[in-house]
Amino acid sequence: MNQRQRLAEGDPSKAKPRRLGKNGDGAERHEAIYRTISDAIIEHRLKPGARLREDALAEVFGISRTGVRKILQRLALEQLVTLTPRRGASVTRPTADEAKDVFDARQMVECGLMPEVARQITAADVEELREMARSEREALRSGEQSRAIKLSAAFHERLAQLSGNATLAAFVGQLCSRSSLILAVYGSAGHLGCESHDHDDLIGYLEAGNGERAAAFMSRHLKAIEASLSIVEEEEEAPDLHSIFGG
């Protein structure tokens, strides 16, 4: 089903942005637009290298260019968007070296957090994580690749949060956002580069309090994802923002 068909059939995840006119630049509105653009990048509806013109985004979402600029700056901090002097904003185009850097950083941080997560985890946490893993498997079985990628990222972010270290958890969140873009662009359709039961196996080690086994398993898990990537450069293109965001 293509983008126009989803819009026509009322897919709520692709709903048309609500225009709020000149008074539509509130914090909640900015947050919603930020999420909409972020999702479009991760879902590969906005492709790497695609230019994001401030005037076009302001028209599509019905907010000021100043508001758009703030949102693009936030996306740039997460490295989903690249800001270039005199050229403006574009969707970040991950390179092979950048992908390696991101996964190297995830290896160091996430594996290092596993022993503490194993010490802190509760029965309620285990149940929550198993539900997240189940949702991810269902998304893959249903062919919802972009949703599965986001659910996988959310799983890893939640694991980091369970360590109790808010600073490292926030860093893992940023790394997962970048990984999601890398996977969306260079990953294999219908597969996230790892076995579907990997997250359940990891939960099992954590539930048993075996932080060292969990760290070793996390390392293999991340290496498998990285090894599955097939990085091929694509031609830069100018996206139809009205079509993408339902304008």
How does pLDDT run along the chain (247 residues), one tens digit per residue?
444 343 333 333 344 444 444 445 688 889 999 989 988 887 778 888 899 999 999 999 999 999 999 999 999 988 889 999 888 999 988 888 999 999 999 999 999 999 999 999 999 999 999 999 999 999 888 888 778 888 999 999 999 999 999 999 999 999 998 898 888 778 776 667 677 789 999 999 999 999 999 999 999 999 999 998 887 655 556 667 777 777 5
What is the distance between the terminal CA atoms of the chain, rounded to a whole angstrom?
19
| C-alpha–C-alpha distance, residues 161 and 212, integer Å | 18
Beta strands in 11-165 (DSSP E): 51-52, 81-84, 88-91
3-state class (DSSP) for residue 90:
strand
3-state class (DSSP) for residue 84:
strand
| C-alpha–C-alpha distance, residues 200 and 48, integer Å | 32
Asked whether the beta carbons of 192 and 225 are under 8 A apart, the reply is yes
pLDDT of residue 226: 92
Tokens standing for residue 25: 């630049």
pLDDT of residue 215: 98
Pairing of strands 51-52, 81-84: unpaired
pLDDT of residue 14: 42
Asked whether the beta carbons of 13 and 246 are under 8 A apart, the reply is no
Tell me the longest C-alpha to C-alpha distance in the chain: 55
pLDDT of residue 234: 56
Rounded to 10 degrees, what is the CA torsion of 197, 201, 203, 205?
180
81-84, strands of its sheet edge to edge: 51-52, 88-91, 81-84
